[in-house]
Structure 1
Amino acid sequence: MNDDQGLLLITTALLVGAALGLGFFGGLWWTVRRGAVSVRPARWFVSSLILRTTLVLTGFYLVGAEQPLRLGACLLGFLLARVVVLRVTRLKGCEQVAAASGPPPCA
């Protein structure tokens, strides 16, 4: 395998990790919002946890393929997606607070 193929595999692993992270943390945010107003929040949280964890571990297993560098790139993409989701959801939360009660405390 030449350097270009290796770089392509690492970049792909990084992007797949970011997609897994967006799905995991975006799904967590969505679950918290749905579970907070649900009559049976435990069902939301448990089923979401099982589904999100299964998808992410399967993705890591398939991308890693016993290659530590690819697995590391996938994990890095996953963690970068966490930062993105935190920033996006924090901004949305601040906008909702501002609309409800004036300036947000997190501004």
Structure 2
Amino acid sequence: MKLVIAIVHDEDSFELIEELIDNGYKVTKLATTGGFLKAGNTTLLIGVEKEKVDSVLSIIQDVCKTRKGAVSMPSPIVGSTGVFVPTPVEVTIGGATVFVIDVERFERI
């Protein structure tokens, strides 16, 4: 048995969960926050048999696409002390970070 831990953008989470459930996978959803952009993420825990890991990864890859987004980063105004103006910076958001971990023991109680 394997545990797939997928950290995905909040915008992708609903569609991904629906797709996983439609394909017969059980999913546990955790609300998380990213460290770099400090934006909402969703962490999914998916327990699967070893043979089904590639299928789960394929579903994640199909649903979670990267895209460009703008984030406001404070920039100091030249000649002013302590004055910061938000400046939009383009960043890549979306996609997924996935970990696949061996499960030594699994019980449903």
TM-score, with length taken from structure 2 = 0.29
Higher strand share: 2
Structure showing greater radius of gyration is 2
